Amino acid sequence: MSSKRHSILPPVSQTGPKPPVNFSSTITIADSALLTGTHTITVHGESVIHPRARLDSLAGRVTVGRRCVVQERATLGAAAAVPAAAAAAPPAEAAAAVTLGDYVTVEVGAVVEAGGTVIGEGTVVGVGARVGAGAVVGKHCTLTAHTEIAAGEVVPDFTVVYSNGMRRTDKRGVAELKNKGLARQIDVLRRMIPSNPAKFA
């Protein structure tokens, strides 16, 4: 990018405290990702954090598993939309706010609220979806675009949530293939996204 048009990519305003981070050496994190909060943000090996993704550890630890993809404008650890729900969640001070398993994809603009929220291995959180505080999403689930998982809800493994909350079980048995596909995607993204983990250290 030429220096003349630097204004095209506005600088990211880093507000709030800088969190302690625990990065694997093999992750790819874009320069313009936003990390805020006071608790530790852990990102395990080969995960990819896109530009403008937001990880907020103000309410507790944020843990991202191996080979996860957090796309642009996704928010992990957002303050709960309903404060009462947050009170119901375990209020332990150092509790985990958000835990992503391995092979999790959080797509554009999705929001995962803080408060002991767990997302299982191989789950895809679709564009603009919202996972409430304390919800536990099982393994290999698919939350399609704009779906909402209520606070504290437990979603069983292999659930597909679509069309304003309709549910069905994914019986295709393609979890292994999906994980392999995601690994390929990560290989490509590692080359495309300039990584700068040192900025957050």
Partner 1 sequence: MSRRPPRGEYIETDTGNKVARKATLVGTQNIMLGGKTVIQPDVMIRGDLTRTVHAAAPQPASQSATGAPPNNTAVSIGRYCFLSRGCCLRPPGRLYKGVFTYMPLRMGDHVFVGPGSVVQAASIGSHVHIGAQAVVGEFAIIKDYVRILDGAVVPPNMVIPSFSIVAGQPARLIGEVPEGGLEAFELRDLYKTVGNNPQPVPP
Q: Are 89 and 107 in contact (CB under 8 A)?
A: no
Residue 199 touches partner 1, criterion: CB under 8 A: no
CB of 159 to partner 1, least distance (A): 17
DSSP secondary structure letter of residue 4 = G
The residue written with tokens 């995607």 in the block is 185
User: Taking contact as CB under 8 A, which single stretch among the options 13-21, 53-61, 87-95, 120-128 is the one that binds partner 1?
Assistant: 120-128
User: CB within 8 A of 10, min separation 6: which ones?
Assistant: none
Q: What's the number of CA atoms in the CB half-sphere (13 Å) around residue 92?
A: 8
Nearer to partner 1, 8 or 84 (CB): 8
Distance CA(92)–CA(197), nearest Å, equals: 29
User: Taking contact as CB under 8 A, which single stretch among the options 21-29, 34-42, 82-90, 188-196 is the one that binds partner 1?
Assistant: 188-196
Task: Work out which of 15, 93, 171, 191 binds partner 1, going by CB under 8 A.
Answer: 191
For residue 128 the two structure tokens come to 């603009």
Residue 7 touches partner 1, criterion: CB under 8 A: yes
Segment 123-182, which members bind partner 1 (CB under 8 A)?
A: 126-128, 144-146, 162-164, 181
Nearer to partner 1, 9 or 201 (CB): 9
Nearer to partner 1, 72 or 157 (CB): 72
Give how far Cα 63 sits from Cα of 18, 24, 74, 77, 119, Å.
16, 12, 15, 10, 10
How many Cβ atoms from other residues are within 10 Å of residue 67's Cβ?
A: 23
Residue 72 touches partner 1, criterion: CB under 8 A: yes
For the chain, the straight-line distance linking the first and the last C-alpha, in angstroms and rounded, comes to 25
- Amino acid found at 120: G
Binding mask 84-103 toward partner 1 (x if CB under 8 A, else -) reads: --------------------
Residue 81 touches partner 1, criterion: CB under 8 A: no
Q: Contact residues for partner 1 (CB under 8 A)? A: 1, 5, 7-10, 32, 51-52, 72-73, 108-109, 126-128, 144-146, 162-164, 181, 184-185, 187-188, 191-193
